[in-house]
Structures are given as C-alpha cells and as structure tokens.
Amino acid sequence: MENLNFSFNNLKTVFIIAELSANHGHDIEIAKNTIRAAKRAGADAIKLQTYTADTITLNCKKDDFLIKGTIWDGKSLHELYNEAYLPWEWHKELFDTAKEEDLVCFSSPFDKTAVDFLEKLNAPAYKIASFEITDIPLIEYAASKGKPMIISTGIADYDDIKLAVDACRNVGNNQIILLKTSSQYPAKIEDANLLMIPEIAKQFNVITGLSDHTSGELVPIIATSLGAKVIEKHFILDKSIGGPDASFSLDENEFAKMVKAVRNTELALGDVRFSLSDKAKKSKEFSRSLYAVQDIKKGEIISEKNIKSIRPGFGMHPKHLNTILGEKININIEKGEPLKKEMFEIFKNK
C-alpha cells in the first residue's frame, strides 16, 4: 500500500481533519460513504481510531470502570468501547477508499499493537488522543516510527504536555502538533480557552491546532484567527445513524459550512505586508493630493486660496503643501489640474 507522505511544515492553509470515530453504525459501507462525504465537505484528511475494548480497558463492572457525569452514563468503559470501536479488518479498505478520494488517512493508536498494525498500512501520521497523553511509553513507541505526531491536550497540564513533547523529541521526532481540546462531549464554548493555541506554540515550539467538540463553526473560526494550523472535528454521514459520538458530530452540510468559514477566515487574515495589492493601489487613486482650485498663471504665488488637498490622488502628495506655499509656479495651469513637482523650482535637483 502506497504511503501518503505529508508534512505539517510550511502549511499554506489550515489542515482540516474529519474524525470518523464511532460514526460507522457497525457497517463498513457507512464508513466508506462517510469518507466520501468528508471529501465532498472539504476535509483534507479522515482520521480513524484503532483499538478494541480489550486493548483500551478491562471488561470490569467495578465502580472505577463505570462512566459517570457524561452522555454515556450507566455504561462501563468496556461496553462503550465495544460499541464504538472500528473493526481492524476494515482498516485497509478504508485507507484505500481515502486514497481513492485523495484524502490523507491516519489513525489514533491506543496501544503498541495498534501502532504495529498501522505501520503495516503505512499510516502517514499518528494521533494521540487526549486521554492517552499520559501514556508516555505509547507516545515514545509511536513517535519512534518517525511520522508526524498529533497530540490532543484536553486533560493535560503543563507538565503533562512537556512529558509528551519530550517523549517525541527523545526518540528524535520533532514533527509535533499539539491540539487544544476541551475533553467534554459535547463541549461548551466557554470552555474552549482558545488563547492557549498561540501560547502552546510559543511555550513548546510546535505547530498548534484545535480538536473541537463544540457545535457549529465559531470556535474553529476563532482558532484559525489565533494561528491554528490543524482543525479536527467529528464527522458523521447522517445523525440518524446514532452512536456514542453522534450528538457532537457534524454532518456533511454542517462540516462543509465549517470548512467554508475557516477558508474565509484565512482569506480575511491575509498576510503581514505593508506593500499594497493591485486592488489597494487602484483604490489609492481616490486618496487626497494637491490640486489647483483656481486658474494659476506662470509666476503666481501658491497660496491656500489657489490650491488644496482634495480627492482624487493623481497630484502631489499632501505632505508637500507647506513646502510649496509661498513658492512661484513655473507654468500656467487650470482649475482642476493636479500639481506636479516639475512645476516648482524648489524640487529641481532633488
């Protein structure tokens, strides 16, 4: 299988990831059609999750393993992950479908066996989920494969992030992308704390982005304006499919709206330059400049009665007004003519 190599260095546009997650309805055709829909919606990549209930937790009903305070209350961790997991035997077909759609396809491994499995598929990157950021041996193992490492930071404090970043760098991998995340499902806008995006980039010298669980496109728009280079959103073909992640996933129309909003934000941000675009240069014709407001004869003294700074901008710059007041003009000009430097002796040899 061909490796879809890619790099996050020098990204010209925000890299937008559609997260398939559990939105497959236990049907591979739904999963493949979801990938195709993500392409239509404008995604750059599709992300899978590679685990089984037994590689991520224990089949245990003790209190520690029961979910409380979330949309999945009442289930054990094993029950949730057994419902949500993507069958490993589907992966190659889904990677192939993504390739057909010219989408980057990669995954979140949750243990070393998943990394080994994904290596056989030539996965071009690894995503470490927020709750796995403390699994330093997993991060080191995945990072040792030399692929870009995308790491969510939803439950991480400074020390957690530093440990994860150091784990990558300790095995010679500096291709690190940290995603600001609110690890609530769904997340509230007030918990987004997007000012951390530029701060994380500064503190850890990495590319930063957003893994978003809020509804709509507002948070991705703001993240883009703050320098996010990667945005990840859960994607579902149709919310009627249901499943553990349906309530905080975007369908094709919603995702396309979000992509358009991000792309428009990029257009609005532009780049840092003081030089004028061709459009701005054209508009500058309507700026102010110096014009004769009366007929002026050769040898006549220039005063504020016979010239003014007015629109349009085809005459001398208004900064020269005080310089030419009291000077003689060296040709006859009519009312409405722009003043030029060659009309005055004072500008000769300058």
Decide if 189 contacts 219 (C-beta within 8 A).
Answer: yes
> What is the reported pLDDT for 4?
44
> What is the reported pLDDT for 348?
86
> What is the reported pLDDT for 1?
31
Q: What is the pLDDT along the chain (350 residues), one digit of tens a residue?
A: 333 456 787 788 999 999 998 899 899 999 999 999 999 999 999 999 999 999 999 999 899 999 888 777 888 999 888 888 999 999 999 999 999 999 999 999 999 999 999 999 999 999 999 999 999 999 999 999 999 999 999 889 999 999 999 999 999 999 999 999 886 767 789 989 999 999 999 999 999 999 998 888 999 999 999 999 999 999 999 998 888 888 889 999 999 999 999 999 999 999 888 888 888 889 889 999 999 999 999 999 999 999 999 999 999 999 999 999 999 999 999 999 999 999 999 998 76
Q: Which residues contact 343 (CB under 8 A, 6 or more apart)?
A: 329, 330, 331, 333
> What is the reported pLDDT for 2?
38
Q: Where are the domains of the chain?
A: 15-269, 278-347
> What is the reported pLDDT for 5?
55
Structural fold of domain 15-269: TIM Barrel (3.20.20)
Q: CA-based diameter of the chain, in Å?
A: 102
- Angle at which helix 112-120 crosses helix 136-143, to 10 degrees, equals 20
Q: Which residues contact 169 (CB under 8 A, 6 or more apart)?
A: 176
Asked whether this chain's domains 15-269 and 278-347 adopt the same fold, the reply is no
Q: Which residues contact 286 (CB under 8 A, 6 or more apart)?
A: 311, 312, 313
> What is the reported pLDDT for 6?
63
Q: Give CA separation, 63 vs 13, 58, 67, 68, 165, in Å.
A: 46, 12, 8, 10, 33
Structural fold of domain 278-347: Type Iii Antifreeze Protein Isoform Hplc 12 (3.90.1210)
Q: What is the C-alpha separation between 14 and 41, in angstroms, rounded?
A: 15
What tokens were used for 337?
A: 């003519």
Sequence letter at residue 181: T
Q: Which residues contact 153 (CB under 8 A, 6 or more apart)?
A: 130, 133, 160, 161, 178, 179, 180, 181, 200
Q: What is the C-alpha separation between 302 and 322, in angstroms, rounded?
A: 10
What tokens were used for 62?
A: 């003790």
> What is the reported pLDDT for 67?
87
Which of helix, strand or coil describes residue 119? Answer: helix
Q: Give CA separation, 14 vs 30, 242, 293, 307, in Å.
A: 27, 29, 52, 51
